[in-house]
Amino acid sequence: MSERNGFLFCADPLRASRPDPQFAEDIAAARAAGGRIALLDHDALLAGDAAGAVARVARDSGPYWYRGWMIPSARYAQLETALGARGCTLLTDAVGYRRAHELPCWYEEFDGLTPRSVWCAVAPGGPPPAADELAGLVAPLGTGPGIVKDFVKSRKHEWDEACYVPALADRHQLASVVDRFVDLQGDFLAGGLVLRAFEPFAAGGEARVWWVDGEAVLVTAHPDTPGLRPAPELSSVREAVGRLGLRWVTTDLALREDGVWRVVEVGDGQVSGCPAGAGTADLFAALAAAGAR
């Protein structure tokens, strides 16, 4: 068997010498594929101690895919540097991670396949844009309903309070939802503010498609609706993923009420959630065997 890629998993926060049990299925699949396993102290990384976070990674132990909890883009860059100091590399570099992880970085490649979106920078913990500024920002989206999120995540579980705007033309309501979203995100606000045109989707849930080097190697349910797994049409999405040019990404797809498949979200595969029991053997086999680029 040729040399396999390694996998850098999050360590159990209660026992740093073992993997986080939340990723037990993925670890089993990675081991079955012949991948090397190393552990990352995720808490130390988020606290700014990147060198300490990778202290358990053997020096000169080769390239790694990260697989674990989300990492802010700036911290991921620190992780890349810290691994480099130990003679190791990440198969998704910091530039590639941000490109898949943050909507403004992937949006152009998926324009026409995903809801229209606009965005602006907002500092974590900082004030939201004023009502007049918001009105100017959303003008290209029209006057209909919209969605508020940051560069990475929404607060869809606070739908009416901090996510959905029934009419973007209603300046007061738009500002109210944006203010609440920014307040709830606080210091965890990622990158800035994104506003998207709302599109009504048919019942049936979202499909999460896992791509490795431009090929769809696994289709699962979305973790929020694990019992629903639609079968999307992928030809146009495959072309967009190819244009994006990244190694391991996910796309979430939903069927719009008019019968058109739409890309709801793009993500870095390393930090995308997978429903329990989805069966990731083929995915990790492809990742373990992926050649250098």
For residue 292, the model assigns a pLDDT of 62
d(CA 292, CA 213): 11
Q: Which residues contact residue 21 at a Cβ distance below 8 angstroms, ignoring those fewer than 6 apart?
A: 12
Per-residue pLDDT band at 277 (split at 50, 70, 90) = confident
pLDDT at 63: 96
Across residues 235-260, what is the average pLDDT?
A: 96
Confidence of residue 3 (pLDDT cuts 50, 70, 90): confident
Helix (H, G, I), strand (E, B) or coil at 11: strand
- CA-CA distance, 233 to 63, in Å (whole number)? 33
Per-residue pLDDT for 96 more than 70? yes
pLDDT tens readout for residues 60-91 = 998 999 999 999 999 999 999 999 999 999 99
> What does pTM read for this prediction?
0.93
Is 60 exceeded by the pLDDT of residue 111?
A: yes
- What's the chain's average pLDDT? 95
Is the per-residue pLDDT at 128 higher than 50? yes
Residue 1 has pLDDT above 90, yes or no: no
Q: Provide mean pLDDT across the span 101-125.
A: 96
* pLDDT at position 158 over 80: yes
**What is the spatial distance between Cα 179 and Cα 157, in angstroms, rounded to a whole number?**
16
